[in-house]
């Protein structure tokens, strides 16, 4: 049968129109401790499921948890590095949830956070080579850790709901020169905190990279979300389009989704039996 260009064109267009990855929101949200990363869940499409690896990280969401708008799975927070089990259990749980359609019930899935989740991945790796509790070695441990993290992030990209990964920042101090008095002239930059080359490969998986920061004002701390920034912080948006989003936005995911014309409404409330 001769190649049919029109049929191929139709197939490509139909695939794009039916590809849920093109309609689903994914973001890496970074910030320093206390910047409001976890609290951002209260502005996401409900219901929200959080897999929390940060001890006590969901305490600020109690009101939404009690209402049933947020489901916080905190079983991952308590890890014994000498007998690690959390990442292995989490992998099995994610696989089961995806098989049974669990995430169809949710508007948003949040993995909190890349730092402590990455620690659990490393604990799993060390246990696999009978070195639980030891210091990791670069070639033996860091590459397998990075690979597992990337592979599961790619798997989570196939979820039917929005997907947010939170992350911490690390300060990088650069010496630009010296003053006449001999003091160093320094510049501080903040970058995503994770293992080695994963600082590059993990952000590449996400449509959006946002940074939460706080400004001290006369009326108190005002939080804002950087959508587009290069320099002190790194933020970018594939959805920013031709000026639809500002370089800085209010930390409110629903409002942001509505602004860019993506699905922003909540799903039905969960039925608790």
Q: Is 234 helix (H, G, I), strand (E, B) or coil?
A: coil
- Name the one residue in this structure whose structure tokens are 């620690």: 119
Q: Which residue from 104, 41, 138, 24 is spatially nearest to 270, judged by alpha carbons?
A: 104
Report pLDDT for 209: 96
Q: Which residue from 54, 56, 52 is spatially nearest to 74, judged by alpha carbons?
A: 52
Per-residue pLDDT reduced to its tens digit, 203-227: 999 999 999 998 766 676 788 999 9
pLDDT at 50 over 90: yes
Specify whether the CB–CB gap between 267 and 106 falls below 8 A. Answer: yes
From the candidate CATH numbers 1.10.150, 3.40.1350, 3.40.50, 2.60.120, the one assigned to the domain spanning 26-260 = 3.40.50
pLDDT at 16 over 90: no
The model's confidence at residue 31, banded by pLDDT at 50, 70 and 90, is very high
Report pLDDT for 24: 79
Report pLDDT for 2: 65
Q: What percent of the chain has pLDDT over 70?
A: 95
Choose between 178 and 67: higher pLDDT. 67
Q: Which residue from 109, 196, 219 is spatially nearest to 149, judged by alpha carbons?
A: 196
Backbone φ/ψ region at 136: left (φ over 0), alpha (ψ -120 to 50), beta: beta
Looking at the DSSP bridge assignments, the partners of residue 229 are: 235
pLDDT at 182 over 80: no
The model's confidence at residue 268, banded by pLDDT at 50, 70 and 90, is very high
CA atoms within 13 A on the CB side of 159: 26
Report pLDDT for 4: 84
Specify whether the CB–CB gap between 234 and 211 falls below 8 A. Answer: yes
Report pLDDT for 138: 83
CA atoms within 13 A on the CB side of 194: 26
Per-residue pLDDT reduced to its tens digit, 222-248: 889 999 988 899 999 988 876 789 999
pLDDT at 62 over 90: yes
The mean pLDDT value of the chain amounts to: 90
Specify whether the CB–CB gap between 224 and 36 falls below 8 A. Answer: no
Buried b (16+ CB within 10 A) or exposed e, 154-170: eebeebbbbbbbbbbbe
pLDDT at 132 over 90: yes
- What token pair was written down for 204? 């590449």
Q: What is the DSSP string of 83-139?
A: S--HHHHHHHHHHHHHHHTGGGG-SEEEEE-HHHHHHHHHHHHHHHTT-TTSPP-II
- Largest separation between any pair of C-alpha atoms in the chain: 80
């Amino acid at each position: 049968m001769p190649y049919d260009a029109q049929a191929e064109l139709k197939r490509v267009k139909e695939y794009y129109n039916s590809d849920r990855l093109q309609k689903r929101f994914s973001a890496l949200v970074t910030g320093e401790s206390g910047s409001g990363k976890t609290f951002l869940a209260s502005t996401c499409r409900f219901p929200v499921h959080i897999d929390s690896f940060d001890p006590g990280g969901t305490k600020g969401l109690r009101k939404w948890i009690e209402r049933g708008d947020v489901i916080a799975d905190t079983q991952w927070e308590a890890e014994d590095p000498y007998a690690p089990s959390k990442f292995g259990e989490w992998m099995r749980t994610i696989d089961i949830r995806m098989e049974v359609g669990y995430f169809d019930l949710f508007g948003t899935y949040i993995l909190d956070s890349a730092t402590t989740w990455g620690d659990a991945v490393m604990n799993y790796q060390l246990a696999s080579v009978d070195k639980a509790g030891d210091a990791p070695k670069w070639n033996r441990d860091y590459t397998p850790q990075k690979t597992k993290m990337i592979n599961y992030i790619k798997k989570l990209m196939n979820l039917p709901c929005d997907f947010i990964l939170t992350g911490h920042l690390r300060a990088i101090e650069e010496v630009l020169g010296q003053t006449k008095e001999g003091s160093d002239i320094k510049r501080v930059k903040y970058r995503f905190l994770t293992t080695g080359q994963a600082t590059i490969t993990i952000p590449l998986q996400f449509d959006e990279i946002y940074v939460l920061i706080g400004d001290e004002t006369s009326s108190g701390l005002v939080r804002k979300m950087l959508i587009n920034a290069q320099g002190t912080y790194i933020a970018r948006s594939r959805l920013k389009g031709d000026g639809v989003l500002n370089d800085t936005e209010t930390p409110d995911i629903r409002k942001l989704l509505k602004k860019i014309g993506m699905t922003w409404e909540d799903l039905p409330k969960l039925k608790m039996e």
